[in-house]
């Protein structure tokens, strides 16, 4: 069924890659840049020279709802504060997502770095700008794109920072596409990370 959804969505979805192409893009998964409960992230390069981040999900015999949900959610977006999905792979038990490469890591990494007193002053100014960017990204997801998207897992680990330290909201595996008429009550119980879930949910 999920394969049928992907085929029906193909004209609007990002490019679909074969597993053999993913191996070439990542030079056989040679440059690991991150790891989490979802899988492992590798740095790669497309044939046109663009640097990308390839999120290789843990191999599973499941139906891949999270991957399809992320594709359907993020494909509807276009905003400077939302990470861009460039492609995906759905081949057998192998699943991967290909994103624009964002060089300054996550907001969590940035916050955790040791800072001198002078750097701390700059840090607060930068954190203010980052917070504003995240708010703009969330406003866009909730009100600005073609479908209302509720992320459900906004936390420092899911905020990426580009070369100018602009924030980009990432990891839409738990996101839900909602009708603009859908109430808060109707989307309760959708999950998220304790400590970061909106209190009304």
Asked if 46 contacts 52 with a C-beta cutoff of 8 angstroms, the reply is yes
- Under DSSP, the state recorded for 59 is P
Biggest CA pair distance of the chain: 56
Tokens found for residue 170: 């990432």
Q: Which sequence positions are flagged as catalytic?
A: 153
Task: Report angle CA 35, 83, 180 to the nearest 5 degrees.
Answer: 115
Please provide the distance, in angstroms rounded to a whole number, between the alpha carbons at the two ends of the chain.
30
Asked if 26 contacts 54 with a C-beta cutoff of 8 angstroms, the reply is yes
Residue 55 assigned ligand-binding role: yes
Q: Cα dihedral sign for 169, 172, 174, 180?
A: positive
Q: Residues annotated in the binding site for ATP, as ranges? A: 55
């Amino acid at each position: 069924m999920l394969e049928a959804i992907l085929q029906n969505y193909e004209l609007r979805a990002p490019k679909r890659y074969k597993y053999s192409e993913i191996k070439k893009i990542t030079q056989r998964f040679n440059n690991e840049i991150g790891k989490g409960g979802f899988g492992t992230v590798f740095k790669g390069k497309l044939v046109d020279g663009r640097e990308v981040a390839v999120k290789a999900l843990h191999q599973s015999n499941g139906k891949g709802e999270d991957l399809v949900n992320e594709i359907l959610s993020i494909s509807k977006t276009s905003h400077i504060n939302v990470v861009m999905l460039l492609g995906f792979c759905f081949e057998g038990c192998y699943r991967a997502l290909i994103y624009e490469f964002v060089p300054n890591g996550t907001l969590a990494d940035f916050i955790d770095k040791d800072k001198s007193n002078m750097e701390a002053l700059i840090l607060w100014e930068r954190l203010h700008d980052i917070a504003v960017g995240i708010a703009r990204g969330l406003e866009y997801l909730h009100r600005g794109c073609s479908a209302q998207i509720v992320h459900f897992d906004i936390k420092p680990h899911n905020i990426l920072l580009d070369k100018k330290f602009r924030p980009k909201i990432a990891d839409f595996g738990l996101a839900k596409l909602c009708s603009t008429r859908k109430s808060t009550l109707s989307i309760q119980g959708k999950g998220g990370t304790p400590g970061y879930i909106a209190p009304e949910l």
